[in-house]
Structure 1
Amino acid sequence: MCHTGMGKKVKKELEPPPKDVFDPLAVESKKAETAVLMLQSPEEEILAKSCDALYKFAKKGDENKVTLLGLGAVESLSKLISQEDKIVRRNAIMVCGIMAAHNDVRRLMQKLDMIPPLIARLAPEEEVVVHEFATLCLAHMANDYTSKARIFELNGLEHLIRLLSSPDPDVKKNSVECIYLLAQDFQSRSAVCEQNAIPPLLELLKSDYPVIQQLSLKALGSVSCEAECRQALKEHQALDHLLKILEAKELNDLHVEALLIIANCLEDVDTVQLLQQSGGLKKILTFAETSPLPDVQRNAAKAIAKSAHNAENRKFFHEQGAEKTLVDLLGSDNNGVKVAALQAISVMCANVVSKDIFNKNGIFQIIHLLNKDNAEVQEAAVFALANLSTGCPNNASAVVEADGIDALVSLLKDKGEGVIANTCTVLINMATQESLRLALESHGVMTALVATLQSSSNLVLRKALLTVAALGCDAEARTEVSGFTYNEVCTLGGSLVIRHLPYILNSSSTPKPSQYQIGICWVSQRC
């Protein structure tokens, strides 16, 4: 209503709407095709609603993701994630985050070079929801080596590390997962340390969400492969954090990953010494013995084996009674634990004192494992015996005392050249003592070796020939044994030497004197 000059109220006439304006239209569709077509609209409201509908559709399963891929949705979304309108941008990135779970979608995203705009969405001024789905999309894409390299090239790591301190747990989870995947590459591992990611990764160990804790440990496990990163872990008291995790029974789902990091850190002598002084080394050994989890026990044994390659570390482990721990682990019901313990024993017995300890407490158990059906256990057991008996006559005698000869003879029939070669090493070590040679001869070792001398493996032939030579020191061995004469063995051995003579003379890789040359001398002296 308005007032006229005459003081009377009259109705104001309504102006007709412009003829060139389209009345608002609420578009509803039950078809994904229509929603994808609407992604071409110039109107922000339609774009936002279409993306929202596609997000709900894609979320329902892989079949729907494939449908949208076939309809060309990814190409349109690749442009919309950089849209000026923040709602459109947010909704588009949500669709991309969900769809990137599919391999074919990720390949197209890579082809469209979507990583630069995705990294741009990690900027501090973006909404938390945008951070969540942009990091989700990048975490999916980081499964591919080429995408990993692209993320690294565009300094995506810097943004991901910053987002580890996000207040949103989903953002933290996606960011740390992406960092873990990136850290499997050497360049990224070093960059993680250089960009000071260790403190926020350690902070995530305090998270209320187990998946975040596990991913953080996995990321730390990857970076701890690098010496400079291990130094950073030490400077930030990471080992204290890890030992506390091991001591907490309610965190047993984190124990495997925690031990893998400790295993890497134990490569450094100063770290082992520090742990020994603080009592941490003893805690690790006790934990290995008492843990009910086979994976934990296996990783603990692997940690010892990895560290004990260093002579100083072996000394520290010996001082803490690592030998007893390893022998106890041989009694596990899990074959993987047995193999890891045997491998650690093989390394630890480079220490002479450790060899003596295993003589009293370990050789009998190891001989018992030679009779197991599991090939991996047998191989690890005979390798341990080879190391234990080398340069140690007492341990060679202990093999006989533990009734190990029949098991060793049986292993000469094994198809694996490593098993046969290590078995021969044990027999050679035993043959240095006359009483043990006689024991070996009485168990038909020479007969078993005749078959071994016909192997097509150069390694097996060399070791078998040396074994025959070692056993042939006695006149008794040069008599007929179970249907074979010593001369027949000599003839076979000599023919093998001659057969391989060109290899001996021409091979630059064969040490001088080679095993074959030793064999030649032996044949010429005894035939």
Structure 2
Amino acid sequence: MPKKPLQKARENRSTDKKDLTFHPYHITPETAHTAVLLLESEEDEILCQTLRAITKFSAQDTRNREILFHLDAIKYILPHIQHKALNVQRFALKALAQLCQLPTAPEVVLADAENVRTVAALLGKMEDVYVLEFASLILAEVTREPLGCDQLVATNVISTLFNRMKSSADPDVQKNCLQTISNLLDDPASASEVTMNPHCTWPPILALMKNKYVAIQHAAIKTVGQLLGRFKDEHIQKSFKASTGISDFCDILETYDFRDIHSLILDVIRDYVETEDNAAHAHRAGALQRLLAYLEIAPVELKPRALAALAKMTLTESGRKALFETGADLVFCHLLLGSDVELLADAALAAGNMARLAEAAVRMCDAGVVEALASILADERAAWFDVRINALKALGELTRATPRAATALVAPKTFSAVVNVNKKYKETPVEAQRLAVQCYINLLDYHETMRALLTPHFIHELLNIVQRIDIKLKILACSALSVLMSEDPGRQLFTSKGGEKVVSENLKVEHLGLRTALCNLILASVTAAGADVYHGIGTLHYMVTNRQARYAVSAWEAALESIFKHNPSAKFAYTGRLDVTDFTHDGFYVQKRISDRFLPLKHIVRDARRPFKDPVFVINFGNSKHASEPSHERSSSDSKVDSNLRNYLDNLLSWFGEPESSCKGSKSMQYTEVDESEYEVRYREKCHEVSTTLKSRAEQLAQFVVEQMCGLTEERDCSMPSVDLHLADLMLDLNTSVLPLGHVRCGGPLERALLYKALADRVAVPCALCRGGGGAWCEVAVPESDPDEDEIIPGPALRGYPAGLLRVNYIVDLERGRLVRAGGADAQRVCGVTCSQRYVAGKTPDECYCDALFYV
């Protein structure tokens, strides 16, 4: 068959050498500049043929368009887009549309706003199909830029876009108009102009989703998604609910011919059901049941998208209720038990969210969801993100929601999966470790499961977690330990596993949240033995001297007080005061002189060397509950009963006419402390009362102490040199610097105040022990009758007062054996000047600044 002439010419051009000769209307990269120059011709035929050749050249390759763009072809094409010759106008619009597809080309067009107005006018007034196609394509390209959106909105062409989109017979015009509307919706400043336009209605856009052209379907679905994503636009949301939109989505999913756009529809549904109202509307419209049915028959590649749409509904309360009514929670459980790995992450997330609904949580537990999640978590082949992480989240939500899930999780087989997360912490992400500890906290909300976790191994594991690097993980572990400390066995296990040392190490980390959690743990866990440990390892001293932490951490002071409560010796040393609610117990000791740190008693005994310099006074009545407790404070040298001190107490009890059994124990008082903030009239019958005879007892006790220490007469020398000599003799006689208080028969202000406080705690006299710049003294809280009050029955001397309202009102003068009213001149002589507390443990100031006058 002979070859055609044109075919021969093409073959000859391909075999010959490169022809650099300009051929009219056939453009090559080398002759493109000449073609651009021809656009300045005034002959319509030349313009038409040149523009036609340029469109062919542009269509061949993107590089050809770049060549034309760099030759400023747009500048030469723009004058011809409204040429009087239709063909010239068509090819000019087509060439401009092709060049506008380059990334930076729209900027050149948008440099003059008149260009957009011209193209928009052509779209509105022209009916030529080619002009409409290319004009709409240009608008679709230039509105990719925010400036293009602004210029297009200013032309008032939005109504035209909707009309062309709805009624144009050309599918390209419809697609381009849809794309332009989509671009406007992407721009925050222009989107409201689109939604407020009266031509913006749902039926035309929804109809285009079922168009026979896939490109139009994609554009329509994208536009629908953008409109539905405007959740705060009440008009859009309300009008969509009134339309058939949600039913149209389901119709498309049930139509096999539209399978190519099923994934896009599922994504739109997933985003739509994000809010409470939309989730409820989807359920009312029947979309939820149809979506569950589609999940069963969907192709394998689309099942994850369908499940994602259902999982998104679990984020809202109305969505969870709707899913529960349709049994979707059981579907999630079934998927967790299945073998489809692609569905496990979303199924676990959905199950965890459904657990926020109590009824669903119970039903899922009956279906074995806890065991299924635990098996997923234990599967080392599964990915941590997001399969195993979501499984942990679901377990956390389930254990928080229902005790049935907690009971199922603490079973040995299932609980090992959670424990291994932190046991193999080097192989697990820190997010998983945090979620596992949160599961522990949820399990501790129930008494039964907390009992199951109250084991030495579990507490040891939590203490190991506290020692890791992650701060948030440390805080969570502290929270779990704090809950366990509500039980006595938990506090004992905490001390046996070295919990105090772990707390002490972490307190040095300067993190406000961690320090608060650790202080709360101290509040929950501290015992007498634990307080001794904190004292022995230096934690107590660190907490007292760290002034910055005491100011910044709100729970720091409370934690310090909780330790002081179990260690009154340290409290008196560091604060210089034991209040009426603080009681001395056997083993309580006071140093005559304190340096920069208050040491445990066993350290003092161990380091004592002859000649002994400073004595330490110890109280041991032998009847305190502390006498049987192991303590770091006591040693073999001070654990014996102080017989002299015991005799003092026996004499006082017989003197006051009370049987010994009534005052055993340091807290066996005749008065009960009632917090003032909680005191009301209805508590009067519940609290014990004290009478004004208590003042007489306090005075008699003062006379007794003075008599035992030195006597009221001047027969014995009780000056400070005599006291120091007496104490030195005692230390030599006993061969120790630790002196039982009962052996001291010649004492100064400190020795007398200490003896008064020790005896007052055991004969029901509310007494405070103080130490300051002027020495040491005691303060008492005793009721007294009003001298102006008329005599009634019972008389004022026997009138009862609520013990909880007692406040310090007298100072004990232990030189003369009397009570003096607080605040008076006599009281100031007893207490000395108000001065820096040089007898309090801690760094003392170099200079002393007194606030009161000296009295002679």
TM-score range, shorter chain: 0.7 to 0.9
Q: Distance in 2 between matches of 1:443 and 1:199?
A: 68
**1:521 paired to 2:523:** yes
In structure 1, the residue matched to 2:473 is 460
Larger helix proportion, structure 1 or 2?
A: 1
Which deviates the most, 466-475 or 316-325? 466-475
Q: SS at the partner of 2:246?
A: helix
| Aligned-residue offset at 1:194 | 2.8
Change (3 A) 1:416 1:118: farther
CA displacement, residues 105-157 of structure 1 (integer Å, 9 cap, x when unaligned): 34444445553333333224242212212222333344444434443454453
Q: Distance in 2 between matches of 1:146 and 1:82?
A: 23
8 Å Cα contact 1:190-1:223 kept in structure 2: no
1:375 to 371, 382, 385: 385
In structure 2, the residue matched to 1:14 is none
In structure 1, the residue matched to 2:835 is none
Gaps of 5+ in 1: 1-25, 506-513
Change (3 A) 1:285 1:185: farther
In structure 2, the residue matched to 1:12 is none
Q: Distance in 2 between matches of 1:458 and 1:250?
A: 55
2:178 to 166, 176, 179: 176
| Aligned-residue offset at 1:94 | 0.4
2:266 to 259, 268, 279: 259
Q: Distance in 1 between matches of 2:339 and 2:76?
A: 56
Amino acid at match of 2:219: L
CA displacement, residues 329-351 of structure 1 (integer Å, 9 cap, x when unaligned): 43576666332232222322211
8 Å Cα contact 1:100-1:106 kept in structure 2: yes
In structure 2, the residue matched to 1:401 is 411
1:223 to 203, 223, 227: 227
Q: Distance in 1 between matches of 2:191 and 2:308?
A: 22
1:292 to 272, 278, 299: 299
Matches within 5 A, 1:442-461: 445-461=458-474
| Aligned-residue offset at 1:498 | 5.5
Q: Distance in 2 between matches of 1:235 and 1:259?
A: 20
| Aligned-residue offset at 1:423 | 1.5
Aligned residues with identical type, % of pairs: 22
| Aligned-residue offset at 1:63 | 1.0
CA displacement, residues 431-451 of structure 1 (integer Å, 9 cap, x when unaligned): 345664576577955455445
| Aligned-residue offset at 1:209 | 1.1
CA displacement, residues 2-31 of structure 1 (integer Å, 9 cap, x when unaligned): xxxxxxxxxxxxxxxxxxxxxxxx945542
In structure 2, the residue matched to 1:95 is 95
**1:366 paired to 2:373:** yes
Q: SS at the partner of 2:306?
A: helix
Q: SS at the partner of 1:59?
A: helix
Which protein shows a greater Rg?
2
8 Å Cα contact 1:363-1:385 kept in structure 2: yes
- Aligned pairs, how many? 490
Q: Distance in 2 between matches of 1:152 and 1:238?
A: 27
8 Å Cα contact 2:503-2:518 kept in structure 1: no
CA displacement, residues 84-123 of structure 1 (integer Å, 9 cap, x when unaligned): 4332222111012222222133444444555333333322
Amino acid at match of 1:469: S
Matches within 5 A, 1:343-354: 343-354=349-360
Q: Distance in 2 between matches of 1:523 and 1:284?
A: 53
Matches within 5 A, 1:425-504: 425-433=438-446, 436-437=449-450, 440=453, 445-472=458-485, 487-497=497-507, 499-500=509-510, 502=512
8 Å Cα contact 2:295-2:306 kept in structure 1: yes
2:252 to 223, 245, 254: 245
In structure 2, the residue matched to 1:232 is 239
Q: SS at the partner of 1:330?
A: helix
CA displacement, residues 484-516 of structure 1 (integer Å, 9 cap, x when unaligned): x854343223443463465689xxxxxxxx645
8 Å Cα contact 1:497-1:520 kept in structure 2: no
**1:51 paired to 2:64:** no
Change (3 A) 1:37 1:272: same
Q: SS at the partner of 1:206?
A: coil
Gaps of 5+ in 2: 1-22, 531-856
Change (3 A) 1:494 1:300: farther
Q: Distance in 1 between matches of 2:106 and 2:285?
A: 48
Q: Distance in 1 between matches of 2:467 and 2:111?
A: 56
Q: Distance in 1 between matches of 2:510 and 2:445?
A: 27
Q: Could you tell me the TM-score, scaled by structure 1's length? A: 0.82
Q: SS at the partner of 2:135?
A: helix
| Aligned-residue offset at 1:200 | 1.3
In structure 1, the residue matched to 2:213 is 209
CA displacement, residues 232-266 of structure 1 (integer Å, 9 cap, x when unaligned): 22222112211111222332222222233333443
Q: Could you tell me the TM-score, scaled by structure 2's length? A: 0.52
CA displacement, residues 15-49 of structure 1 (integer Å, 9 cap, x when unaligned): xxxxxxxxxxx945542221111112223322222
Which deviates the most, 470-479 or 320-329? 470-479
In structure 2, the residue matched to 1:32 is 32
| Aligned-residue offset at 1:375 | 2.2
2:309 to 271, 293, 303: 303
- Kindly report the root-mean-square deviation, in angstroms, between the aligned alpha carbons of the 2 structures: 3.2
Q: Distance in 1 between matches of 2:317 and 2:454?
A: 37
| Aligned-residue offset at 1:389 | 0.8
1:317 to 292, 312, 323: 323
Amino acid at match of 1:199: P
Amino acid at match of 1:319: E
Which deviates the most, 277-286 or 206-215? 277-286
